[in-house]
Amino acid sequence: MKSYQLFLSMVSLSTGITVLAKPMTATLLLSERVSMAELATNVLDPNSERYQQYYTPEEIREISGPIDEDYENLIDTLKSVGFEIARESTTHLAITIRGDKTLFERVFRTKIEFTGMAHTNTIRPFVPLTMPLIESISGLDNTMKLKPRYRKYQTLEDNEFTGAPGISPANIRKIYGIKPLYDQGLSGKGQHVGIATYMNYSRDDIVEYYQLIGLRPGPTVDTVSFNGQAPYDAGSAGETELDAEVSGMIAPGSKIHIFTSAENSEEGELALFTAVLDDNRCKVVNYSWGSCERYVRQSHKPDMDRVFNRAVAQGVNLLVASGDNGSDGCGDGTVNADWPAAHPSLVAVGGTSVYINTDGSKIEKGWSGSGGGISSLYKLPSWQSALKAPFVRRSFPDIAFNADPATGQGIWVRPSLSGRPTWMQVGGTSMAAPQWVGYLALVNEARAKKGKKAIGFLNPLIYKASAQERAQIFTDITKGKNGVYSAGTGWDAVTGWGSMRGEAMLNFLLAK
């Protein structure tokens, strides 16, 4: 029996001492023949023959993946030393392997220490000469944890008849100019929305939410599992259900696919987005999890650079919550950026506080918790070159939406797996990001009706727009602070360019 099959079994050593097997998984990233960064540049460059001609996973395998013979030799070598092949990316650029910790230690000449289910490698791994394709190994340390980006305001226990608390779905659609899109016959039909998340959730809660707000039929919802059976956690489930509910509320005709990673760690994050991109149905994807940029391990950054650049190459918009601690991304009283919101291949969604006047118009200002600031990891992308000091490195957020818990919206969730679902008023930038995701699903449906491809990476389009165009497509948020940064005219590190003017933004993106 191989070492990875010895989970919870006791192995007798020659000394008579017994030890408990420690099963692990790790994801190996293989050398790219053509980098994901180059492919991403190709689809963004109007002078390239691949402009807006997005790559499929199969094309990436052909262009960037290893030669078939070399790849098969690596698979055979991994199996011969005792590893199980748990998953293979469609691109042949990522392989997830499973084995006992002693096998990882022996093959990769490292040392791994366990504390409960958590483990850390104390010696940098060495790639054997017999496995030259391997560029990096993710999963030897699983101590990094991502946190959900939502904030609870109030719970209305077990009362489905009161209606959703906070700003109603109808008012959200009205004040952001989304209702005219429905009048044009748009609903998200034919569009696939991705929710990238961790742990399990209750699908019944999501379906019931749609029914309670009058969506009949509502979006279809399914689960995509890829690294084992995800356990249930009430906090994680609340985030997942929030993301699916409000994105579906905006795009009721869409199909929502929830990608649930059973592992919340660096390797789990890498596996999560590899699974989303291998699937390749979703051209808009929500990610409402994050951490402090300062906590990102040096080895994890290039791994995720590859995956996020691949998303751009495949024409996938990854929208991420910008964080809920304002300019203090670490939550420790310092000025730090959020991970991965400050990544230059993602669209970071900040937060606002919204108040509705008696005439139905809105007053909107920057929410104090809206994550925003300047990355310490990434240079200023070319499409942000017009920003002025101190924003001389990648700065975020890019756009914004309602996120203040006090002016938040209602979701239908259960505080625990055994409890009954109930209305909960929440906010946070994870309330903002999925509603932008739903909106972009409407945009992509409209583009499809005109025979156009999905819009692709949003940021270069909105940053390169003229001042006159941005005045038409955004509500510029000029008041509010998130700590050291203040909202103001034009782009700012609290709300980015601001919130969408739904119909005008649609017309702008249809022309691209």
- What would the two tokens of residue 101 be? 């910790």
Between the alpha carbon of residue 426 and those of residues 123, 267, 404, the distances in Å are 43, 29, 8
Residue 430 annotated in active site: yes
Half-sphere exposure of 364 (CA within 13 A, CB side): 26
Residues 250 and 441: beta-carbon distance below 8 Å: yes
243 a catalytic residue = yes
Buried b (16+ CB within 10 A) or exposed e, 260-293: bbbbbbbbbbbbbbbbbbbbbebbbbbbbbbbbb
Active-site residue, selected from the candidate residues 395, 430, 445, 499: 430
CA separation for the pair 28, 139 (Å, rounded): 9
- Out of 100, 105, 205, 239, which one is annotated catalytic? 239
CB 404 within 8 Å of CB 353: yes
Catalytic residue among 205, 233, 243, 245: 243
Q: Is 239 a catalytic residue?
A: yes
Neighbours of 186 (CB within 10 A): 21
3 state DSSP class of 278: helix
Cis amide bond preceding 344, omega within 30? no
Phi and psi at residue 309, in whole multiples of 5°?
Answer: -65, -35
DSSP, collapsed to helix, strand or coil, labels residue 436 as helix
Residues identified as active-site: 239, 243, 430
